[in-house]
Amino acid sequence: MKLKYLVTLAVIVTVAGVNAAIVTTVKGREKMDIKKEVFGTTKDGQEADLYTLRNANGLTIKITNYGGIVTELHVPDRDGNLDDIVLGYKSLDKYIANSPYFGAIVGRYANRIADGKFTLGGKEYTLAKNEKGINHLHGGTKGFDKVLWEAEPMETDEGPALKLSYTSADGEEGYPGQLNCTVIYTLTNNNELKINYEAKTDKATVLNITHHGYFNLAGQSSGDILSHKLMLNADFYTPVDKNLIPTGEIKSVSGTPLDFRKPTAIGARIDQVKGGYDHNFVLNKPERGALSLAAEVYEKGSGRMMQVFTTEPGIQFYSGNFLNGSNKGKGTVYNKHWAFALETQHFPDSPNKPHFPSVVLKPGEKYEHTAVLKFSTK
């Protein structure tokens, strides 16, 4: 992907009393806007920014450099009406106070590591047990979702982009190695949200980064997602124990309520799954590391469809089971099953499951992961 820094025109305006820089770029055939404004202040006094990107078709996304969080994503329905389809908040304070990873970049290790421990190179590493004192979840007490990333607005041939960079120190949250990582969000003019992840380390470490978007294709304030139809391109899944840790087995979805190989309403069999869906699916891949279709979700009322493509071997399907009304979002209270998540990933607890695809990153290697969310209507 060819990238260029935005150098065309910067105008200072006032938005709700806050100075905001708007960058406009024109490349002959289209006009792209990126707006920057102050989003809030962290508990230690650091200023977080909010970036608004708009593609040539009017799709709009808002991203803060705090946690790389996508706070809003406005996508058209079949009649061309835009609506915000991601759960989240209007203020930074609420993300800091009470957020179940709404729209965030999660890492170093997305998903769960059993008992907060793993062994690498003969040495045992101990991590925070930040899920009920049992598991390590989504990078720990202060994972990638709770740090400030360095942000650069960028212009690409595909559409406006935001590059986020973060250096995770050796030993941060218990992980070995200094990790230099970048995440690039690109809002393409083909109505895609493309997410490119890269990282390098100076010591052998484990790594599994993803984006934890909570989606409701009918609109973030519209109710539950049980009527959304889901297709997962997966013949197999990894069963879990009572603590949602993979048992190590890889089982066929055939004959189970986890069979979404044909489009099926999320709520059609959810009562057959204790607690709801929170499972890793083993994706059917034409070849290892290929960018291929992982999932497709359709919402009949709006006509919106979201397709998920990824280079990763797995995807976590989560049906918003732990939403319980305690999160008051953008003008509404989020209740159980108010959203779904599709997290492209390596498998949970892979550091303790040697037969799972490896998550080890060594010095001299590059971690690369691409996910594409493509939006359309029918």
Closest alpha carbon to 168 in 191, 185, 143:
143
For residue 72, give both structure tokens: 């809003």
Task: Tell me the catalytic residues.
Answer: 212, 343
CB-CB contact of 86 with 341 (8 Å): no
Calpha distance 269→226 (Å, rounded): 10
In the structure, how many helices (H) and strands (E) does the chain have? 1, 32
Q: Which amino acid is at 239?
A: P
Calpha distance 365→362 (Å, rounded): 6
Calpha distance 40→377 (Å, rounded): 35
Give bridge partners of residue 11 from the DSSP assignment. Answer: 22
- List of residues 6+ apart from 364 with CB closer than 8 A: none
Which ranges constitute the DSSP H helices of the chain? 92-97
86 DSSP assignment: B
Calpha distance 91→24 (Å, rounded): 25
- List of residues 6+ apart from 70 with CB closer than 8 A: 61, 62, 63, 86, 88, 103, 185, 211, 213
For residue 307, give both structure tokens: 């397709």
